[in-house]
Amino acid sequence: QVQLTESGGGLVQAGDSLTLSCIDSTETSRRHVMAWFRRPPGKALEFVSAISWSGASAHYSPSAQGRFTVSRDNDRSTLSLQMNSLKPEDTAVYYCAAMKRWDGSYDSQSDYDYWGQGTQVIVSS
């Protein structure tokens, strides 16, 4: 059973950078595809980024491409999201997730089996 906890959220200004972290306290997620999703206020959950179990490949939503970088350290069972050039529209609660088995899809909520509680990011103008 994977247990995920996010951290690193906060209040920043537009143009700032912020790094989010997610740790699996059970240390069993090393072979799982993992991802970041976000929920803007009053809106539906959005895909942000996904990364393979080895960290060799990654995928980003159009809004994250070129600004965000996802990485993982399997030795420490951690997942990170480096966010640069933040915009007010990046304001959201950010969640990390892990899937049991990959079947070719990685950008939908239903692809994932384990979720953290989320960490809030607020970007002011």
30 has pLDDT over 80: no
Distance of CA 51 to CAs 16, 28, 48, 57, 123, Å? 24, 16, 11, 6, 25
For position 93, what pLDDT does the model report? Answer: 98
Q: Kindly state the tokens that stand for 78.
A: 């951690």
pLDDT at 29 over 80: no
DSSP designation for 3: -
Instruction: Give every CB contact of residue 36 below 8 A, 6+ residues apart in sequence.
Output: 20, 22, 48, 49, 50, 70, 79, 81, 94, 95, 96, 97
For 85-102, what is the mean pLDDT? 96
